[in-house]
Homo-oligomer: A and B are copies of this chain.
Amino acid sequence: MKLKTLVLSPQSRLDEVCSEACRARINDYFEPVWNETGRDYTQEELSERMAEAEVIISSWGSPSLTDEMLQKAVKLRAIGHAAGTVKNLVPKQIFAQGVKVYSAAPRIALSVGEYCLAALLTSLRYLPEFDSAMREGKWKIAGLKGRELTGSTVGIISASSTARAFIKLLAPFQVDVLIYDPYLSEEAAARLNAKRATLEEVMSCPIISVHAPKLPATERMLTRELLALIPDGAVFINSSRGPVVDAQAFMEELQSGRFFAALDVFDKEPLAVDHPIRTLPNVLLSPHIAGASVQGHLALMEEVVEDIIRGLREEKTMYEVNEKMWEVMA
């Protein structure tokens, strides 16, 4: 008996997050109910389908599950989210009900890791500055010489999945990696080829990358005092969440021009059209796309579908989210 499986995403979203092979796999392994409405379901439409659902596959735009829906979901065994956080997708009650929850967030982290290395190397070598100067008709720029990454020290804030993806890509560069993470043991740090460090030590590194989730405990954790520790000439990368940083103090530091920042996230998003950060020469800006890549997105549904299948077979899973993880999830 194949499991009745609600695929919540309409065709347009499936084109982004579900390969042809994955559609075939879903048709083969499950008894899917594809969303043929041409748009996301409303909460009412989803609620009406809960009684029959044994598996649910969701993605960006899918309606949130409520406690009321869960009461109807008497057959539900698993929900797999082909996207990031499930914090707002499922209520805490789902875990008590014994439904397995899966999130493809760790797959997204791989794209974030590549963004971090791209932004770092580009910033170290002043590629945007050189490109701009070339477009203005110039050639060499007196006094401007790029820096190598090899042999440097990289400070990491929070040993999240994006940090781990980034650290893996640093392997050939023989860098020293310092991590601040209150939940990371010495042994776990050693397995990442890194050393535990204080927030002050990490903020004093010539390269700093922020990977902290947005939680009450991390809000404004990078205070004015900590931002003042960033060395002159450093590269500061934020691919996690803007509000982790004291926005006012950060803007003042950036305006001094004494270090470079690659910023994919901001205090308020979308970034205000006339925000002064848009005019600074010492920043590389992008619109919260560190996790967005063609290949990364297209792999999302396949990753959770395969993990749901592993879970149903009682094999080891990769993407399961338990109640404890859900609680600290951004």
Q: How many residues of chain A get a CB closer than 8 Å to chain B's CBs?
A: 54
Chain B residues contacting A149 (CB-CB under 8 Å) are 114
Does B137 lie within 8 Å of A274, measured CB to CB? yes
Chain B residues contacting A153 (CB-CB under 8 Å) are none
The stretch among A31-39, A211-219, A282-290 that forms the contact with chain B is A282-290
The stretch among A75-83, A124-132, A223-231, A251-259 that forms the contact with chain B is A124-132
Does A119 belong to the interface (CB within 8 Å)? yes
Check A293/B114 contact, CB under 8 A, given A137-B274, A285-B134: no
Contact for A127 among B111, B118, B292, CB less than 8 A: B118
Does A287 lie within 8 Å of B140, measured CB to CB? yes
Does A49 belong to the interface (CB within 8 Å)? no
Chain B residues contacting A294 (CB-CB under 8 Å) are 145-148
Does A270 lie within 8 Å of B127, measured CB to CB? no
Does A183 belong to the interface (CB within 8 Å)? no
What is the bound-complex CA distance between A122 and B130, given in angstroms? 14
Does A192 belong to the interface (CB within 8 Å)? no
Does B297 lie within 8 Å of A145, measured CB to CB? yes
Does A190 belong to the interface (CB within 8 Å)? no
What is the bound-complex CA distance between A270 and B140, given in angstroms? 8
Check A295/B150 contact, CB under 8 A, given A134-B287, A286-B127: yes
Contact for A118 among B122, B141, B297, CB less than 8 A: B122
Does B295 lie within 8 Å of A130, measured CB to CB? no
Check A131/B284 contact, CB under 8 A, given A121-B114, A148-B110: yes
Contact for A285 among B131, B151, B274, CB less than 8 A: B131
Chain B residues contacting A288 (CB-CB under 8 Å) are 140
Chain B residues contacting A285 (CB-CB under 8 Å) are 130-131, 134-135
Contact for A119 among B127, B171, B286, B289, CB less than 8 A: B127
Does A98 belong to the interface (CB within 8 Å)? no
Given A171-B171, A172-B172, 19 new contacts (CB under 8 A) = A115-B125, A117-B117, A117-B121, A118-B121, A118-B122, A118-B124, A125-B293, A128-B128, A131-B286, A134-B286, A134-B287, A137-B273, A137-B274, A137-B278, A139-B269, A141-B287, A146-B293, A148-B296, A171-B172
